[in-house]
Amino acid sequence: MDSGEYYSLKNKGINFFKRGLYKEAIEWFDRTLKIKPDDCSSLRNKGISLVWLGRYKEAIECYDRALKIMPDDYDSLRCKGIALFYLIRYEEAIKCYDRALKIKPDDYDSLRNKGVSLFQLKRYKEAIECYDRALKFKPDDYDSLREKGVALSCMEMYKESIKFFDRALKIKPDDYISLRRKGASLHWLKRYKEAIEYYDKALKIKPDDYDSLKGKGIALGFLGMYKEAIEFLDQGLKIKPDDYQSLEFRDNILEKMKDSRDIKTKKENEDKTKQDVFKYDIALSFAGENREIVEQIAEKLAENNIQIFYDEYEKAKLWGKRLSTHFQKTYGENTCFVLVFVSKEYSLKDWTNFEFSIARGEAKVRGTEFILPVRLDNTPLFGLPDDMAYLDFNTEGIEGIVSAVIAKLKD
């Protein structure tokens, strides 16, 4: 057979290889090798076709045959390293890459692939050194950028890793792996909302990406969005039903949801009980001269959803009522506490003394604290025990009084 026919057979193999028809390519490379058994490139191309078919041991045999013929064929050395990598023979793969790099030190593919093998051995610093060397020769080598980001995240250098994922994504904006990996780094930095954004971007490209579903579910859980978290964890578990981390986190969320429901139910029951027993949380008793201070406190309490009796808020309800009768309940059985603003004016007025006398009578019935005195000055108030604890407005101020009332209602 003449050389023209030989090259025709070889070119057919190459054409099938380029079209991804690897079985057909191997048949033509075999026919070529029957004519010329020492054709190094056909042996190498047959090996690459075998790798694509997952037949790694046979591929290595082809590379070894090629290397016997041409020991300094760095392409065969690099390709053999790839096949060894897939067989999880990382140390042997590294040796092949080192041999290739002695022949061609600027081969960024061998540098990157060596980095990946070192990464699998958890030798992250050495892996990063290889990626950096590869990036010196090819600064836009997407795979080296992404893999360096992954190695940095494994070293818990999350901020640095994000920089490399960003550089990789400028080259390939639709790479779901870099998007998910950036999300994971943000996740570890507790920037959960931003992490979810990147998990979502990854899922738009690959809706069944298990790691993005799992990551989003966990991030939602940390944000307290339990129902949504369960939804995404469940989607992930349909793909990997036996993932113990997802199962464990899902169980933890369900427990938190149960606890939240229990707390909510307890609070609702407590609030319901209080509402059933008392019409008001607080009734305000004060002299008109002190209204400016009291009104500010009333507004703040109302903003905190506290049910208060303040005369200005109930003008329409009080209109036409007999106040002496109505106030018997307002400053008595209908309220949880009476807030008394003690001042010179309060002690002198008949109406405030009337309100205070009702509160004193209810306090005796309750047997617990009921009157909460706030001193606006040092004027003594007849009927207020000397040893009763009080708050001093001049010390506490409006915010301090409001905070104390809220705390008291929670006791």
Domain coordinates in residue numbering, the chain = 1-104, 174-276, 278-410
Three-class secondary structure assignment of 227-295:
HHHHHHHHHHHHHCCCCHHHHHHHHHHHHHHHHHHHHHHHHHHHHHHHHHHCCEEEEEECCHHHHHHHH
**Per-residue pLDDT at 265:** 53
Domain spanning 174-276, CATH class: mainly alpha
Report DSSP letters for 322-372, one per residue: -HHHHHHHHTTTTEEEEEEEE-HHHHH-HHHHHHHHHHHHHHHHH-S--EE
Q: What is the pLDDT of residues 170-179, one digit of tens each?
A: 999 999 999 9
Answer yes or no: pTM beyond 0.85: no
Strand order in the sheet with 308-309: 308-309, 280-285, 335-342, 371-375, 391-392
CATH 1.25.40.10 fits 1-104, yes or no: yes
CATH fold group of domain 278-410 = Rossmann fold (3.40.50)
Position with higher pLDDT, 11 vs 201? 201
Give the span between the Cα atoms of 44 and 42, in whole angstroms.
Answer: 5
Beta bridge partners of 284: 339
**Mind listing the pLDDT tens digit for each residue in 307-351?**
999 888 888 888 777 776 678 888 888 899 999 999 999 888 888
Q: Per the structure block, which two tokens stand in for 334?
A: 């209908």
Residue of 173, 227, 229 whose CA lies nearest to 205: 173
Q: What are phi and psi of 308, to 5 degrees?
A: -120, 150
| pLDDT of 266 higher than 60 | no
As a whole number, mean pLDDT of residues 155-179 equals 96
Mean pLDDT for the stretch of residues 199-224 = 94
Average pLDDT over residues 354-370: 85
Instruction: Please report, in angstroms and rounded to a whole number, the separation of the first and last CA atoms in the chain.
Output: 101
Write the pLDDT tens digit of every residue in 290-305: 999 999 999 999 998 8
Q: How confident is the model at residue 363 (pLDDT cuts 50, 70, 90)?
A: confident
pLDDT at residue 275, as a whole number: 46
Predicted local distance difference test score (pLDDT) of residue 273? 44
Q: Which residues contact 279 (CB under 8 A, 6 or more apart)?
A: 307, 329, 334, 335
Domains 1-104 and 174-276 share a fold: yes
Taking alpha carbons only, the member of 96, 87, 102 closest to residue 114 is 96
DSSP bridge partners of 373: 340
Judge whether 131 and 146 are in contact, CB under 8 Å: no
User: Mapping DSSP to helix (H, G, I), strand (E, B) and coil, where does residue 375 land?
Assistant: strand
Q: Tokens for 329?
A: 């309940």
Distance, in Å, from the CA atom of 200 to the CA atom of 216, rounded to the nearest integer, reads 8
What is the pLDDT at residue 268? 53
List phi, psi (to 5°) of 331: -100, 20
Q: What is the pLDDT of residue 257?
A: 75
| Residue 46, strand partner residues | none
Closest-CA residue to 215 (of 181, 170, 169): 181
Q: Rg (Cα) of the chain, in Å, rounded?
A: 39
Q: Which residue has the tokens 């339990």?
A: 226
Question: Looking at the predicted structure, is the pLDDT value of residue 264 above 60?
Answer: no
Please check the confidence at residue 267 and state whether its pLDDT lies above 60: no
Distance between CA atoms of residues 279 and 374, nearest Å:
22
Structural element, H or E, at residue 8:
helix 3-18
Residue 294 — φ and ψ, nearest 5°?
A: -65, -40
What's the CA gap between 296 and 299, in Å, rounded? 5
Residue with tokens 């104390």: 404
Q: Structure tokens of 253?
A: 């969320």
